[in-house]
Amino acid sequence: FTQELNADEEKVGVPVAVFSLTEIVVHKGDKITIHFINPAEEPEDRHTFTIDTPYQMNYDLAGGESTQFSFTADTVGIFTYYCTYDLPSMIGQLVVLP
């Protein structure tokens, strides 16, 4: 499973920071690869992909940066991912099914 997540700052004509995908649904044991892109033009317009326990990830990107990371969905449940700079608008859910 591979997913591209953009930090999309345009929604209904109003500048707001949102993930391009607000839900990722996978099965336990799936390997997930995320391509995280911050399309902002200014380096100080930072965004994170952060998810807490049990996955413990925090990728922090300046405007114009991108990264790719992978992990295995080894715990069943619903886990919130978010941007630490843009709560509450920039959130999503990782849903791991049995």
Q: Kindly report, residue by residue over 42-73, the tens digit of the pLDDT.
A: 999 999 999 999 999 999 999 999 999 999 99
Rounded Cα distance between 47 and 9, Å, is: 11
Residue 21: which pLDDT band, with cuts at 50, 70 and 90? confident
Q: Can you list the positions of beta strands (E) in 12-74?
A: 14-19, 23-27, 31-37, 47-51, 57-61, 66-72
Rounded Cα distance between 88 and 71, Å, is: 25
User: What CATH class is the domain 2-97?
Assistant: mainly beta
Across-strand partners of 66? 37
Across-strand partners of 6? 37
